[in-house]
Structures are given as structure tokens and as C-alpha cells.
Amino acid sequence: MIIHVVKPGDSVYRMSREYGVPVDTIIAANRLTNPEQLVVGQAIVIPGDFFNYTVRPGQSMYSIAQNFGIPLNTLIQINSQISDPSSIRPGQTIIIPLQPPKGREILVNGFVFPSVSPNVLRDTSPFLAYLSIFSYQVRPDGSLKTINDTGPVTAALNMGVAPLMVITNIEEGSGFSSELANAILTDTQVQNTLLNNVIAVMKEKNYYGLVIDFEYVFPEDRQNLVDFISRAVNRLHPLGYKVSVALAPKNRANQKGLLYEAHDYPSIGAIADYVILMTYEWGYLRGPAMAVAPVDQVRKVLDYATGVIPSEKILMGMPNYGYDWTLPFVKGSAARILTNYGAVSLAAKVGANIQYDPVSQAPFFNYYSSEGELHEVWFDDARSIAARLELVDEYDLAGVSYWTTNNYFAPNWIVLDSMYTVKKVI
């Protein structure tokens, strides 16, 4: 696989000729709904283990080998059809081998809502170890607001993906509630009731494990949260269930803010089987325009996390969406959520060229609406996904966790599959 960035005048046909890959293969791999309407700056995935390269003026076998990071002798051996490697001509075609996949096994989790399409589940299942169905909302008395999860749980099991039950402190009809978390975390009897209800659901629905996602917990409940997770692990482990915990993206122990302070990385990391780092939402719905998961910021979180949590317990969060902001940013205003495909379609519609920020390692573009308002869009493409996936190997992590896999973005899975082998657990 290689990633081709569309240039002015590019077409799928030209890419097919350049890389020796059939047009239909490129269209299918990228799920291009309108292959005649490419966007300058758009990232296109070219599948395959090699591609044909057209020699440009001034190039030699040595310079081409340098450009692609291939040993010169290897390049010469693969192109044995060339009688005189020291004298190649512009326009001549040579074969460029692609590096084989690293092959290391990693765990991949995908959060979904119960409404996820069966077709999306079918297409995504080969790349997932876990499917986390979001979410059972806890109530102050330890009961649970149930969800219609039978379909995705059954589908996951049938496709060899382990379903995970997710519990959250989301207040019914609202969002994450600090007060609701406090009611649970300060009452051991309520916690026992909650865990009894969790176990009953897991047994009835054939869940594989549990994800605890308690967010915006009061700082004074920090130890209470640790104690609850410990109690959950002690109840669930003897029954054969794994326990994972979603954690805010902290870059230091004393990071301030309601989202961060109660998440005790060392203590929770020591107790839980896995932690899911929510390494996204730097660019967020009601914030200023920026990349959703800038690599430089994700790296800071991993620097801290791997220093206090065993790296083999860490799943790095991966976003699967983008935002469209109106500029200038006004506090209290909200961006529009886009799929990654939707972002490219929007760029095509408004005639924008896609740019790529080298610091955050993310694509973006600007455009003016019909009302004359300036907009900025940040999203993900094959380049930004590959840049973050490289961190998994760099930090020796257990794997990644996607928020969410309700929408299928084909280039993501091609990139992941080219870099890692997914470790199945059932």
C-alpha cells in the first residue's frame, strides 16, 4: 500500500497507469462514490505489495532507491529486466517493492452505538478484536438504563469479535454527570447493586467484558473511582470477564480540569486489564478550530501514560470523524460534525484544496459559505491515520480504540491492515 496525494490534473486513470493497479481496484479500495471528482490534496490509498514507477528526468536507480528507502541492490535485483541499471531513461517503468507489513499483533476496539448498520459491522469485523456498545447508563440507585444491544452483540459474536458492555455516568436526557458519578462512587451498597446488574446483563447478553467510562468525576471522588474499579475487577475476574477503563487524555499527573483530575493513571492502570486513552477532541464540538487528534499532543499523552502504566495495557484512542467550524470562533458556538468521507465531499462541493499540517499531521481546508462566512474543516485521511498508528509501535502499545466505528472509512482499515495484524480474542 502507498498513499497518493492528488495533484492538479490527477485522475484515477493516471494513478492506475503510474502504479500499475487497476482503476476498479483503486475505486473499490477507497470507496470513491464519484471517482471523476477528485480533490487536490486528497489522500488516495493504492493497495498492493508493489507498484510501477515512471522514471523522471535526472533520476537514477540510486536516487530512486534513496527516495523510497530501498537498498540499491534490492531495487536492481527486483528489476532484473533492466539490462543496464546504471543507465535508465525518463519515461522508463521500474518496479518499486513495498515494505512488508510489520505484522505485530495488536488489539483493536471499536465503539459503536446500538443503531450501527449491520453492513458496517460486517465490513469492520475483520479488523476488530472488540466491539464496545455505547452505552448502559447508570442510575443513582445502581440500576441501568437498558439499550437495544441484542443485534450488535449477536452480530459481533457471529463474526468473531468480542462484545464489551459499556457503563457510563451519563444522566438520562443529558450528558456526563459529576453528581451522578458521586452518587455511585460514595455508596458501596449502590455499587454492589450496580455490579450485580452489570453481571446479570453480561451473562444474559453474552458479553465478553466491561468498559467503565466515568467522565467529569469530581476531584474529591478520585480515590472513590479507583476503589470502584478495584471492586469491579474483584467481582468480574473470577467470572472470567475483563475490565477496561476509559481515561481522559492527560499529559501530566497534576493536570487541572474536571475532565482530568479524578483519573488516576498509575492506580487505575495497575488495576484494570486495559485502559482506553481518549486521545482525541483537542479540536472539539464547541471549541476553536484545530485538528481533532494532533500527533504532537497525542505523543505528550503517551509520554506520560507509558511512564506510569504498562504499555501493554494501553489502547490509544483514534477518532473517526471531523469538524466544520465557522470562523472567527465565537465562544458558545458549535461546529458541524462530519464523517471523513463527508469532509472530502464538502471540499469537492465548495472547490477547496485540501492542505496538510506537518505539526499536527492532519488534513484541513478552508472555504466560504454561500452566506459569505469563512469555514475551517479538520478531519482524518490515510496520512494522518498512518502517522498516529506509527505511535503504537513506537510506544509498544497494546493497540488502538476507535471512536466510533459507526461509519466505515475504508482507507483507515487498509492502512491499519498494512501495518499490523489484528489479534482476535475469540
User: What are the residues facing 97 on neighbouring strands?
Assistant: 50
CB neighbourhood size of 390 (10 A):
14
Give 203-207's long-range contacts (Cβ < 8 A, gap of 24+).
Answer: 205/149, 205/150, 205/153, 205/163, 205/165, 206/153, 206/157, 206/163, 207/153, 207/163, 207/164, 207/165, 207/241
215 carries an active-site annotation = yes
Query: Distance between CA atoms of 263 and 375, rounded to whole angstroms?
Result: 35
Class of residue 187 by CB neighbours under 10 A (exposed 0-12, middle 13-18, buried 19+): middle
Q: Which three cell numbers stand for residue 352?
A: 477547496
Identified catalytic residue from 171, 215, 261, 376: 215
Residues 301/277, Cβ–Cβ less than 8 Å:
yes
Length of the chain: 426
Q: Which positions are catalytic?
A: 215
